[in-house]
Amino acid sequence: MHIWGIDFSQLFDFAAQLGYWGAAAALFIEGLTIPFPGGTFLLFYGFLASQGKTSLLLAISSASLGYTIACTFPYWLGRVGGRPVLLHYGRYIGFSQKRFEETEQWFSKFGVPIVAFGRLLFFRNYVSYFAGLNQMAPQRFYFYTWLGVTPWVIYMVVLGYVLGSNWRYALTLVDRYSWVGALLIVAMIGMVYWIHQVGIGRRFFNWFAERWSRKNEKQ
């Protein structure tokens, strides 16, 4: 199978032999912001699950974990190196100054929701650098990174599972209908930002905590 003009057939065979480590490794490479078709490997692992060769749940879990761990590198590079390092070395990974400024504006406006959902838009994996650049707390960064990448991993693996031996055709479907996913993601960002602004989540948590404490007092 050729992707970007490169034959990945042997790599897919090797990934199958690695099992869940292969799923984690594929997303680990992508999490480092290295150009790599991680989504294609997720489809492949969904296909393996449909054949009973892997567990759907474990494939999803290992891939999400591999990606989240890999984001440590770009996060700390942005946190320690700051803006000068990102502007100087960004061009080597396709991160132009224009894209840098666009991402910076979006991050300053939306903050945490961008870390969670911006990876699925045109910000892609570069969000990790900006989370570090803006001194986002590590525990929050890892949580929102995992929260943002897991739905995409589930979507791709399940799609490969449903299509079975036709999983290769999913690449065409994803390209053709990617705008639908983009619209849904924008809607999700808007919803999360609105909830964050009006404080609904905080009020709900306080209400739930109060109800729970009253229940324990009665007992």
DSSP state of 41: H
Residue 117, pLDDT > 60, answer yes
Structural domain boundaries of the chain?
2-169, 177-219
140 HSE (CA, 13 A, CB side)? 11
pLDDT at position 171, please? Answer: 64
CA distances from 57 to 24, 54, 153, 157 (A): 13, 9, 11, 9
Residue 20 has pLDDT above 70, yes or no: yes
Supply 81's token pair.
């190196």
Cα diameter, the chain: 68
For residue 9, name the pLDDT band (cuts at 50, 70, 90): low
Residue 71 is predicted with a pLDDT of: 92
Please state the pTM of the whole predicted model.
0.71
Strand partners of residue 6: 3
Closest CA to 60 of 26, 33, 94, 87: 26
Q: What is the pLDDT of residues 72-101, one digit of tens each?
A: 998 998 888 888 877 777 777 667 777 778
First to last CA, the chain: 63
Token pair in block for residue 196:
């964050």
Distances (CA, A) of 6 to 9, 109, 129, 149, 197: 9, 39, 28, 26, 46
